[in-house]
Amino acid sequence: MAENRVTTYASPRRVQVIGLVLLGRRLAGKSSLGNLILGRNEFEAGKKTVGCVRRYGWVEGVRLAVVDSPGWSLFGLADSTQVKREILHSVMLTPPGLQMFLLVIPVDSFSKRDGHAVEEYLSVLGDGFWSHSLVIFTWGGELRGRTIEKHIEKKGEPLQGILRRCGYRYHVVNNKWTEDKKQVIELINIFKQMYAGTSST
């Protein structure tokens, strides 16, 4: 008699995706940061981003959905209504579940006006988003040996106010140092820490 065979199929593991939204003023280095994180040229850096773009990748064992967005301008070089619409759109493009907002700020000037612009543009996301946000300082090479803490202290209240809103979570990168994987590994570790306990499969 033929043996009765019972085939069992393991239930497919659902992969947890972390959605990363890149936000910031024009030329802050958002598209470059997206490329640095994913380890390949997925976003058009060096060219004005006009609409949201989403790209997926695996980085350090984590599945990421990275959403790039158009930057705002302090000098009327970007349509503010369009930018706000795209900021809202960027959130809709992230998969449901874990979301992280990366507020991209270059290591150079950060005036009161910059601070107001951040508050104004990101107000479309409501207050809850700040607890999922993190400042990413780009152009890290410009620190020229100074610590980021010294830089933050020097920039005063406008920058410190934004960092306070982000729970003082920040990380420094140089988007040009694409071979320096350590800067991305450290960033991924921050995401893992933030979502420890909630990133079950």
Ligand X SMILES: Nc1nc2c(ncn2[C@@H]2O[C@H](COP(=O)(O)OP(=O)(O)OP(=O)(O)O)[C@@H](O)[C@H]2O)c(=O)[nH]1
**Residue 139 touching ligand X (CB under 6 A):** yes
**Residue 183 touching ligand X (CB under 6 A):** no
Options 2-10, 45-53, 108-116, 128-136: segment touching ligand X (CB under 6 A): 45-53
Shortest CB 121 distance to ligand X, Å: 12
**In the set 27, 143, 163, 188, which binds ligand X (CB under 6 A)?**
27
Which CA distances in Å does 172 have to 22, 47, 48, 195?
Answer: 15, 22, 23, 20
- 122: amino acid identity, one letter: L
The sign of the dihedral angle between the CA atoms of 38, 145, 192, 161 is negative
Mask: binding to ligand X, 85-124, rule CB under 6 A, as x and -?
----------------------------------------
Give me the residue label for tokens 């947890």. Answer: 16
In sequence order, what E strands does the chain have?
A: 17-24, 53-59, 62-68, 98-106, 133-138, 170-172
Cβ count within 10 A of residue 189 = 13
Shortest CB 27 distance to ligand X, Å: 5
Sheet of strand 53-59, all strands in order from the earlier edge strand to the far edge: 53-59, 62-68, 17-24, 98-106, 133-138, 170-172
What are the beta bridge partners of residue 63?
17, 58
**Residue 49 touching Mg ion (CB under 5 A):** yes
**In the set 55, 89, 169, 176, which binds ligand X (CB under 6 A)?**
176
Options 52-60, 88-96, 135-143, 163-171: segment touching ligand X (CB under 6 A): 135-143
**In the set 25, 28, 31, 67, which binds Mg ion (CB under 5 A)?**
31
Pick the closest to residue 50 from 66, 33, 73 (CA basis): 73
Nearer to ligand X by C-beta: 55 or 192?
Answer: 55
**Residue 148 touching ligand X (CB under 6 A):** no
**Residues at the contact surface with ligand X, assessed by CB under 6 A:** 24, 26-32, 45-46, 48-49, 70-71, 138-139, 141, 174-176
